[in-house]
Structures are given as structure tokens and as C-alpha cells.
Chains A and B, each alone.
Chain A
Amino acid sequence: NAGVTQTPKFRVLKTGQSMTLLCAQDMNHEYMYWYRQDPGMGLRLIHYSVGEGTTAKGEVPDGYNVSRLKKQNFLLGLESAAPSQTSVYFCASSYSGQPHMNTEAFFGQGTRLTVV
């Protein structure tokens, strides 16, 4: 099992450029999440999805869009990148089962994005 795979691992963008980050999971999880982590800080939730075809806003959604067309994939888009979006982006997925079950979230290794 690959778990949660993020593509790409590194990217440098110029201000105003657009790009899409791909998150793929092979665990048949319903829930998927996108976070950003700035240096020395905790993770902040950007958007999340509770199932195929659904998305919802997290704590810091502005400047980002997401899509969940297939259950295994969760895409994060930056339409017009800004230097403030320089960060490490993490994707995660989890099972949505009953709370007494193990609903741990599995994280990818991160995408380091620099906007210049």
C-alpha cells in the first residue's frame, strides 16, 4: 500500500501562476483534507472533503479551490499564486467509521511550494 501520495514534492511558482497539487490515497477513505504549514507553526486546515463530489471550507480557504471528482483523489488548486502562499502543504485521509473504531488520519509527505 502506498498510503497517501502527494504530487509534486517540490515546486517553485512565479506570482500569478496557477498550479494544482494532487493527493491520492489507496485506502478507500471517505475523508480527505488539505493543510498548509508555515515555518515554526502548526497545520492549518484549508479545505476538506467527506466524500466523492463534496468539499467544504476549513480555517484558511481563501485563494484555494479543491475538487474531489474521484474518491481516491483530492486536488488543491491555486488559481493565481501569491508569495503568502509559500508553505508546505500536507494532504491527509481518514476512514469515516464509527468513532470507537480507529479513524486515524494518514498524512502524505508534503509538498514544499515557493512562490516568488
Chain B
Amino acid sequence: DAKTTQPNSMESNEEEPVHLPCNHSTISGTDYIHWYRQLPSQGPEYVIHGLTSNVNNRMASLAIAEDRKSSTLILHRATLRDAAVYYCILRDHPNTDKLIFGTGTRLQVFP
């Protein structure tokens, strides 16, 4: 399974944009890039996913490098509720059905 590398922690101030990086240099052509986040004392929740093109939804944007070896989750205006651990995951559709989490990035948001 291809691996992802994320910084252990990041900090942001409220209402500022946050860019969470993820390196996945061994990504294969069929790997989709998924992001989940885990709020304190809760189960993870889906944020966004993409293959090659940049993606936007109501929660965040996903910017994928042209060579697909890295990606960035963008929170346009951080709120206190965005403080969580963010996981970048590669999911190989449809060749494997595993969903393997790494250690993630702990985001702190300050008022």
C-alpha cells in the first residue's frame, strides 16, 4: 500500500486560511486521495477526495500536484470547530478495499 507523510502538527489563527500538506511520492495511477478529520472524542468524518483535478466542497478544497506526489487540503477560513486531526489517505479503487489511516496532522486553531 502506498504511504502518506504528513506533519505531526500545525497551528492557525481563527478565520485565517490553513494549508495542510500531504506527501505521497509512491502513489499509483489508481489511487484516490482522501481526507478525513477526527474531532476530539469522535469518530473520523469524511472531508474530501480527488484523483487528479482540484476539488472543492462546502468543507474544504483539495489541491493536487500535477505529478500527484503531493496534495494540500485547504480550509479557507479556519474556525475553532476545525481543530482536529486531519488524515490524508490513499484509496486504490477498485483494486483494494482497505482504508488505511496514517498518524495525521493535529491542527490547533487559536481565537
Contact = CB atoms under 8 A, between A and B. Distances in A.
Interface of A: 4, 31, 33, 35, 41-45, 48, 50, 56, 58-59, 90, 92, 94, 96, 98-100, 103-110
Judged by DSSP, the binding face of B is loop
Contacts, number: 62
A104 B87 contact: no
26 contacts: A4-B43, A31-B97, A41-B103, A42-B85, A42-B102, A43-B44, A43-B87, A45-B99, A45-B101, A50-B97, A56-B97, A58-B98, A58-B100, A59-B100, A92-B99, A94-B99, A98-B94, A99-B32, A100-B51, A103-B93, A105-B44, A105-B99, A107-B44, A107-B45, A108-B43, A109-B43
B97 A42 contact: no
Say which size band chain B's interface belongs to. 20 to 34
Given A104-B46, A107-B44, A109-B42, A48 B93 contact: no
A105 B51 contact: no
B49 interface: yes
Nearest to B92: A99
B27 to A, nearest CB: 14
A62 B87 CA distance: 25
Nearest to A105: B99
Contact of A96 (B97, B98, B100, B103): B97
Contacts of B104: 42
Interface in B48-82: 49, 51
Contacts of B87: 42-43
A99 B98 contact: no
A100 B52 CA distance: 11
B43 A42 contact: no
A109 B42 CA distance: 6
A96 B102 CA distance: 22
Given A98-B94, A109-B42, 9 more contacts: A4-B43, A42-B85, A42-B101, A42-B104, A45-B101, A48-B98, A56-B97, A99-B94, A107-B45
State the 6 A-B residue pairs at the shortest beta-carbon distance, nearest first: A107-B43, A99-B93, A104-B46, A43-B101, A42-B103, A42-B101
